[in-house]
Amino acid sequence: MKDHNSLAIYSRLLAYLGPFWKKAILLFVTTVLFAALSGVSLTLIPPFLNILFQDGNAGVSAGAAGNAHSVLVPGAVEKRIDGVRDRARDFIYEGSGKERLARFCVIFLVLMLLKNILGYARTVLTISMEQSILKRIRDELYGKIQMLPLSFFDGQKTGHLISRVTNDVTSLRGAVVGGLASIVQNSLMTVIAAAIIFYTSWKLALLTIVLVPLNIGLISMISRKLRKGSRKAQESMADMTSVLQESISGVRVVKAFGMEGFEKGKFDLFNARYLREYLRMRKFAELASPASETIGMLASVIILWYGGKLVIASELEPENLMMFLVAMLWVVGPVRNLSKLNSVVQEGLASGERVFQILDIRAEGEESGEIPIDGVREGIVYDKVSFSYENGIEVLRDVDLAIARGEVVALVGPSGAGKSTLADLLPRFYIPTSGRILIDGRDTATLELSSLRALMGIVTQETILFNDTVFNNIAYGMRDCEMERVVEAAKAANAHEFISLMPSGYDTMIGDRGTQLSGGQKQRLAIARAVLKNPQILILDEATSSLDVESEALVQEAVDRLVKGRTTLVIAHRLSTVRNADRIIVVENGRIHQAGTHEELIVEEGIYRKLYRLQVGA
Ligand SMILES: Nc1ncnc2c1ncn2[C@@H]1O[C@H](COP(=O)(O)OP(=O)(O)OP(=O)(O)O)[C@@H](O)[C@H]1O
Ligand SMILES: [Mg+2]
């Protein structure tokens, strides 16, 4: 956590603790008590040894130890400490050996019991805080993803996005609450152990201090590697999720092209890469503890040797050397935990970075104006509109187009001409690179996004149905919709008949996990959705997939009913739609080439006549 960036990410994560400040204080207190109790159990070692060796009144403060702390502690405090210690000593050492042993065991038991109760409380608190914070981050992330502009999704693999909400957020877990509590606990335990160590023999303590920077240097090197490795592993996981998601949702195509083997191979490749990255990361992660333990052991041996010499020279009580050694070994635990923790925090920071990247993208609403709009009075005007997607290639060039209120305008043209793009600019799914789009003379950029979209009904080229009932799919976006209205809409869309034949009628589940529908049925459901919304502006991107004559007639009838009285932009692939339009606009290569009614255009030499002849086979 040395660089500024990590610090910023971490403090941002910590901000999520805000609402839990009461629990956080409680956690802090239990953690401190837990650490303190663990430390206190260490100081029981010399008296216990004394009892065992029947050495009645071995002055704990005598000799080297007494000298040692007088170096560190000022006079007045020393007196107070001495007083407390004398009383504690009297309590422990009073009475016969058996009595003392019994008393000692009781103290020990009570301490351990308390410690474990505190430990449990601490864990439960940690988990509940952690999970609440993760929930909040997941909610925020999902909310943000909903608000991101379409252009963001063009550059994203679905699997990667899913992975951010699932895997990355989970990786944050250790970094926030548990990490912080662990830092407090283990640092405190380290400090307590250090205090005991210094209190016992400062000479020995100084010796061990030399070994500390070595350990810290090693661990920070490992953690740097670890963070990089963790990021790579997470990215591989996201790639794998992507392959999985694509092949599952595209299973029909995979099977039709006999690409099962290819897809499996592709998955294998990413799976193997994940394994590689993961193992590499874990190798570093797991190196931290044995490395620091080895150093700890090395320290113990040196201390055993030097401490032994001090004891032989009567400069140190043997039981104090024992306590020193135990404290030394004991401190390895907290230090190791701190180093392990480092890896958890590093992993969390890497994930936090990716999560915040998304949270920091500007949402759609921030790019638009605030003027509400509740209807169309005159019409829509495209004023010198040009547009290019992120890749910079110009897809629309200087498009000028006026659609009067109630007019049905059909866009025709070859595939890739820019028809869908032109339509997508109207609800501001994308924002023109230059030029303006006006409704009743007002630039849509100045309008409130939600009210702008509320004016529009959009039937997209691909029909998207949700994994829900027929009723809810038609009433999507409507609150408390009455059955009658849904049925009415379905009737207008020529969908009522086939819905009535379904096993549970309007309550039949459709979508991924329900009844499957034909292309024409899906389209009619989408039309019913638009009918129910009853929009003033209608954008209809006809599906390119050809329907049989009967369903085409049914869909066409539904469309004719739908467009009546609405300002409509219809992207037409069927000639029948075109004939009924008030005006036909021919788009090619991002430009408007011709405009007029069917009768006008058919006599003109141009793209329209060519397209028409192609379609009717004349
Ligand atoms: N999200 C996108 N990112 C980059 N380029 C895109 C994107 N969507 C479309 N394009 C490109 O923009 C051009 C116009 O595409 P558009 O979808 O508007 O064509 P269309 O006229 O609707 O075609 P079709 O009749 O096949 O539906 C095409 O060249 C296409 O490759
Ligand atoms: Mg299209």
Same-domain status, 332 and 385? no
Same-domain status, 357 and 383? no
Distance 523 CA to ligand 1 centre (A): 21
65 CB contacts (<8 Å, ≥6 apart)? Answer: 199, 200, 201, 316, 317, 320
Query: Two tokens at 508?
Result: 């039949």
pLDDT digits (tens, 9 = 90+) for 166-198: 888 888 887 777 777 788 888 888 888 888 888
pLDDT for res 3: 60
| Residue 374: inside a domain | no
| Residue 370: inside a domain | no
pLDDT digits (tens, 9 = 90+) for 236-288: 888 888 888 888 888 888 888 888 888 899 899 999 999 999 998 888 888 87
Residue with CA nearest ligand 1 atom 1: 154
Distance 420 CA to ligand 1 centre (A): 7
User: What pairing do the DSSP bridges indicate for beta strands 591-596 and 408-412?
Assistant: unpaired
Residue whose pair of structure tokens reads 């029948």 in the numeric block: 576
Residue with CA nearest ligand 1 atom 22: 420
Distance 577 CA to ligand 2 centre (A): 16
How far, in Å, CA of 39 to CA of 187, rounded? 12
Which of 10-24, 28-42, 94-108, 525-539 is the least confident region? Answer: 94-108
- Which residue did the predictor score with more confidence, 67 or 236? 236
**Backbone angles phi and psi of 394, in degrees to 5:** -75, 120
User: 208: pLDDT confidence band, cut at 50, 70 and 90?
Assistant: confident
How far, in Å, CA of 604 to CA of 185, rounded? 84
Residue with CA nearest ligand 1 atom 31: 416
Same-domain status, 329 and 234? yes
Distance 13 CA to ligand 2 centre (A): 43
Distance 581 CA to ligand 2 centre (A): 18
Beta carbons of 376 and 439 less than 8 angstroms apart: yes
Q: Which of 311, 337, 364 is the last residue of a domain?
A: 364
| Residue 372: inside a domain | no
Domain count, the chain: 2
Residue with CA nearest ligand 1 atom 6: 389
DSSP 83: H
Q: Residue 456's beta-bridge partner residues? A: 537
pLDDT digits (tens, 9 = 90+) for 343-371: 788 888 888 888 898 888 888 767 778 88
Same-domain status, 347 and 395? no
Distance 431 CA to ligand 1 centre (A): 15
pLDDT over 60 (residue 464): yes
| Residue 371: inside a domain | no
Residue with CA nearest ligand 1 atom 19: 416
| Nearest ligand to residue 395 Cα | 1
| Residue 112: inside a domain | yes
- Which residue did the predictor score with more confidence, 113 or 324? 113
- Which residue did the predictor score with more confidence, 491 or 333? 491
- Which residue did the predictor score with more confidence, 153 or 100? 153
| Residue 30: inside a domain | yes
Mutate which of 157, 386, 390, 421 for ligand 1 pocket (most atoms within 8 A of beta carbon): 421
pLDDT over 60 (residue 70): no
pLDDT digits (tens, 9 = 90+) for 126-172: 888 888 888 999 999 999 988 888 888 887 778 788 888 888 888 88
Q: Which of 332, 364, 396 is the last residue of a domain?
A: 364
Which of 326-330, 474-478, 560-564 is the least confident region? Answer: 326-330
Ligand 1: which atom is nearest the Cα of residue 393?
A: 5
Residue 124 exposure: Cα atoms within 13 Å on the Cβ side: 8
Instruction: Write out residues with Cβ below 6 Å of ligand 1.
Output: 154, 389, 391, 395, 413, 415-421, 461
Residue with CA nearest ligand 1 atom 29: 416
Which of 244-253, 349-358, 374-383, 550-559 is the least confident region? Answer: 550-559
User: 102: pLDDT confidence band, cut at 50, 70 and 90?
Assistant: confident
Distance 495 CA to ligand 2 centre (A): 24
pLDDT for res 617: 65
Residue with CA nearest ligand 1 atom 17: 420
| Nearest ligand to residue 153 Cα | 1
Same-domain status, 113 and 197? yes
Indicate which CATH number applies to the domain containing 51: 1.20.1560.10
Same-domain status, 403 and 317? no
How far, in Å, CA of 613 to CA of 609, rounded? 6
Same-domain status, 430 and 358? no
Residue with CA nearest ligand 1 atom 18: 418
Residue with CA nearest ligand 1 atom 30: 416
Same-domain status, 22 and 148? yes
* Domain span at 325: 4-364
User: 67: pLDDT confidence band, cut at 50, 70 and 90?
Assistant: very low
pLDDT digits (tens, 9 = 90+) for 269-281: 999 999 999 998 8
pLDDT over 60 (residue 592): yes
Mutate which of 419, 430, 431, 574 for ligand 1 pocket (most atoms within 8 A of beta carbon): 419
Distance 69 CA to ligand 2 centre (A): 82
Same-domain status, 284 and 425? no
Same-domain status, 388 and 343? no
Q: Which of 339, 364, 389 is the last residue of a domain?
A: 364
| Residue 285: inside a domain | yes
Ligand 1: which atom is nearest the Cα of residue 417?
A: 21
Over range 48-54, report the average pLDDT. Answer: 72
| Residue 369: inside a domain | no
Distance 185 CA to ligand 2 centre (A): 60
How far, in Å, CA of 80 to CA of 133, rounded? 44
Ligand 1: which atom is nearest the Cα of residue 422?
A: 18
What sections of 73-201 are H helices per DSSP? 75-93, 97-147, 150-154, 158-163, 169-171, 177-200
Exposure string for 113-143, b = 16+ CB within 10 A, e = fewer: eebeebbebbeebbeebbeebbeebbeebee
Over range 224-245, report the average pLDDT. Answer: 85
Ligand 1: which atom is nearest the Cα of residue 418?
A: 18
Indicate which CATH number applies to the domain containing 537: 3.40.50.300
Same-domain status, 63 and 204? yes
Ligand 1: which atom is nearest the Cα of residue 421?
A: 18
Query: Burial of 42 by CB count in 10 Å (0-12 exposed, 13-18 middle, 19+ buried)?
Result: middle
| Nearest ligand to residue 389 Cα | 1
Over range 314-335, report the average pLDDT. Answer: 78
- Closest by CA to 570, choosing from 420, 397, 376, is 420
Same-domain status, 97 and 133? yes
